[in-house]
Structure 1
Amino acid sequence: MTTTQPGDRDVAATEAARPQRPRSVRARQAVLDATNDLLDEGGLPAATIDAISARSGVSKATVYKHWPSRTAVAAEAFGRLMSSAVELPDTGSGAADLREQVRRVSAFYASPAGVIFAQLLAASVIDPEAASFFRVFFLAARRRAIGVLWERALANGEVNPDIDVEVAQDILFGPLIFRLLSGHAPLTEELAVQIADAALDGLLVPRS
């Protein structure tokens, strides 16, 4: 089960309670679309509140009514667009699925979208409210999806049931994020496979 922090619950509750009047829905979607356009053009530095307002035609006051900061707007916009960008594999083997998912996520981080991900992650460190938006709208869906792969592997008797799914995800995918942020090593397919193999050696059921 994915751990939920208090701020994440607040964001989720706020999202559920947002007015669904057509005009409000259209304005929010215009903001999200404009933000994603700006992110695509120039990354997080381009997605200022002034630029978002000008591009969307929505006033800055309205933007701030729904989001606490530009990073929060960008986190939701990017998260909604990219949360399902990496399709889940289904090879018939739980362990093979996990290996393939590590490879696919590595390729995502190595793409232009990975640069935006890194910018949002870094900005969220100093903006706790934005971090909640990032977890709710981007990370939560990703981690739920990987949880599906873990459950498959458990059902097949391939992974150690004593290891928590949250711990397993951090072990498998944490090294990719570290490489993305630090730049100490490339995000290549070959190295992604090596990371997956090294992690799974400790996660799989020991063979007699």
Structure 2
Amino acid sequence: MTASATIVRRSVGRPRSEATRTEILAATVRLLETQSVQSITIEGIAREAGVGKATIYRWWDSKALVVIDAFMEHHLVKTPMPRDLPPGAAIAQHLRTLIREYAGWSGRIVAQIIAEGQSDPTVLREFRERFHYGRRAVVREVLEAWRQESNIPVPTHIETLSDLLYGPVYMRLLLGHGPLDADFANNHINYVFSLLGVDLKLLEEGTKRVTQPRASHKAPAKRSAA
């Protein structure tokens, strides 16, 4: 066999298509708009995406992994950590956005993934590794930057502070004992910031003054003497 024949033979076969992968995730999101995580199937996802089951299994070993990646594709772009704000203000804005998203579709899917993980530890492990650890690392980075700027008067343990900020959101999400609404977001963020010795209102007002574009003031034209 010649070298050229070897190259041709190795190139035979359909390469993985990112467009197909994206469509599978989009199809999963569409199904999750009307169905629960527990009720959808690989067969249903394949049918909705117009692909075979084997295509799905090229990227994912289970339905749960498809769902987690579909959630991330849909959710992360809607809850970014602002990079154009000081750390404290960025955390506050991120929490407000997260709470708003968790009040809807994103929250329903997260709750169902966590619920499924109670009977299948693999699902919970994959959710932590694919989503939670990455998001937590971003939060930890911003909190560390905030502490280094000495804008947190009270000594803090970053991991505990992260739990304090985000734990009540997940408690309301999973237990449903209170709404995930704007009042909760404002009250919760204000309360935690006050424990840290930070006045959230002053912090955000200061941020607005710094980031607001200055109006240009042109000197009035001098009138010529009559």
Range of TM-score over shorter length: 0.7 to 0.9
How far has the Cα of 1:110 moved from its partner? Answer: 0.9
* Identical-residue share of aligned pairs (%): 31
Number of equivalenced pairs: 185
Indicate which of 154, 159, 170 corresponds to 1:166: 159
SS in 1 for 2:33: helix
Offset from partner CA, 1:182-201 (integer Å, 9 cap, x none): 11011121222222232233
Match of 1:23 in 2: 16
Indicate which of 129, 140, 145 corresponds to 1:136: 129
How far has the Cα of 1:151 moved from its partner? Answer: 2.9
Question: Which is helix-richer, 1 or 2?
Answer: 1
Indicate which of 67, 73, 85 corresponds to 2:66: 73
Name the larger-Rg structure.
2
Compared CA separation, residues 45 and 98, structure 1 to 2 (3 A): same
TM-score (norm 1): 0.73
Match of 1:200 in 2: 193
Contact 1:159 1:203 (C-alpha < 8 Å) held by counterparts: yes
Instruction: State how 1:1-208 maps to structure 2 within 5 Å.
Output: 22-23=15-16, 25-64=18-57, 66-89=59-82, 92-159=85-152, 163-204=156-197
Compared CA separation, residues 55 and 167, structure 1 to 2 (3 A): same
Compared CA separation, residues 129 and 66, structure 1 to 2 (3 A): farther
TM-score (norm 2): 0.68
Relative contact order higher in (CA < 8 Å, ≥ 6 apart): 1
Letter in 2 for 1:115: R
Offset from partner CA, 1:76-126 (integer Å, 9 cap, x none): 221133223213346754333323322221111112222122112221222
Q: Structure 2 regions of 5+ residues with no counterpart?
A: 1-13, 199-226
SS in 2 for 1:130: helix
Structure 1 outlier segments of 4+, above 4 Å? 24-27, 90-93
- Taking only aligned residues, the RMSD between alpha carbons, in angstroms, comes to 2.8
Q: Structure 1 regions of 5+ residues with no counterpart?
A: 1-20
Compared CA separation, residues 167 and 84, structure 1 to 2 (3 A): farther
Contact 2:82 2:94 (C-alpha < 8 Å) held by counterparts: yes
Cα separation, 2, equivalents of 1:84 and 1:166: 24
